[in-house]
Amino acid sequence: MSEQNEKELEKSEILGKVLFSGSDIIKRVSELGREITGNYKGKDLLMVSILRGGVIFLSDLIKEIDLPLSIDFMSISSYGINGASTGVVRITKDLDESIEGKDVLIVEDIIDTGLTISYLLRNLRSRFPKSLEICTLLDRDIRRISDISIKYIGFKIGESYIVGYGLDYKQRFRNLKSIYELKPDMVTKDIESLKSSSSI
Ligand code: 5GP
């Protein structure tokens, strides 16, 4: 989205403050790309992104990795109870390629309770990858339930629900260059019901 239109939205009822500007994000993504490049030299790197939110991050991140690599996608829907993720996940689109013997890096937009990624880790581990690690742009560890280890983290965040740079609110705002908080009073109830039927 153009800067001008993004500024207009900032004045709206829905978007709150900017948490990370487009340039903060570009800088951090490039640092992560360098770190991944350093760690995967000579390996068979396959980056797996979870549709839909993770795709914007993935597409910027792979351009910062100076190695041969391949990408694949999964789509899942998760179920929640009273706004909380349950970790009950259904795969709605599976990977196209086998991951056996590959160095798999899962690329996520945000890890919150960690229940969704725990399910994915269990599922992907059973397919015998050579290695399996996680790279998430955003880590909200204060709500973490699952004990997971995340190798690459873009930014740590607090409680507030966020949108932009792939993250949506009712499927909107994925095309914003910056990451914003939503105005809490506007949307608390909505968010709880959205999370209960997450479209990830
Ligand atoms: P978890 O199973 O870790 O609790 O849920 C992770 C998923 O919840 C993310 O992939 C994302 O779809 C959704 N999610 C959690 N927090 C937020 C948020 O602040 N904003 C948006 N747009 N989605 C979120």
The whole domain housing 51 covers: 3-196
Residue-level pLDDT at 37: 98
Which residue among 160, 162, 167, 199 is best mutated to probe the pocket of ligand 1, counting the most ligand atoms within 8 A of its Cβ?
167
Instruction: Using DSSP, state whether 33 is helix, strand or coil.
Output: helix
Is the CB of residue 85 below 6 angstroms from any atom belonging to ligand 1? yes
Q: Dig out the tokens for 85 from the structure.
A: 């993720």
List, for residues 140-156, the tens digit of each pLDDT value. 999 899 999 999 999 99
- The strands making up 84-93's β-sheet, listed across from edge to edge, are 84-93, 70-81, 45-51, 103-111, 131-139, 152-156
**Spacing, Cα 43 to ligand 1 middle (Å):** 30
| Ligand 1 atom at minimum distance from 108 CA | 10
Instruction: Return the number of other C-beta atoms located less than 10 Å from residue 53's C-beta.
Output: 23
The model's pLDDT over 124-139, given as tens digits with 9 standing for 90+, comes to 999 999 999 999 999 9
The Cα–Cα gap between 90 and 119 comes to 10
103 touches ligand 1 (CB under 6 Å): no
E strand or H helix at 162, and its extent? Answer: strand 162-163
Q: What is the CATH number of the domain that holds 159?
A: 3.40.50.2020
What would the pLDDT profile of 68-111 be if each residue is shown by its tens digit?
999 999 998 876 655 566 667 889 999 999 999 999 999 999 99
For residue 102 the two structure tokens come to 């590959």
Q: Tell me the C-alpha to C-alpha distance, in Å, between residue 125 and each of 101, 103, 197.
A: 11, 11, 26
Q: What proportions of the chain, in percent to the nearest 5, are helix, strand and coil?
A: 30, 35, 35
The answer, yes or no, to whether any atom of ligand 1 lies below 6 A from the CB of 198, is: yes
Which pLDDT value is given to residue 11?
Answer: 66
Give the catalytic positions in this structure.
112
C-alpha to C-alpha distances, 35 to 58, 105, 151, nearest whole angstrom: 15, 13, 10
What is the average pLDDT score of the chain? 89
Number of domains in the chain: 1
pTM equals 0.89
Residue 9: band (very low, low, confident or very high) from pLDDT cuts 50, 70, 90: confident
Res 10 pLDDT > 80: no
Ligand 1 centroid–CA 130 distance in Å is: 28
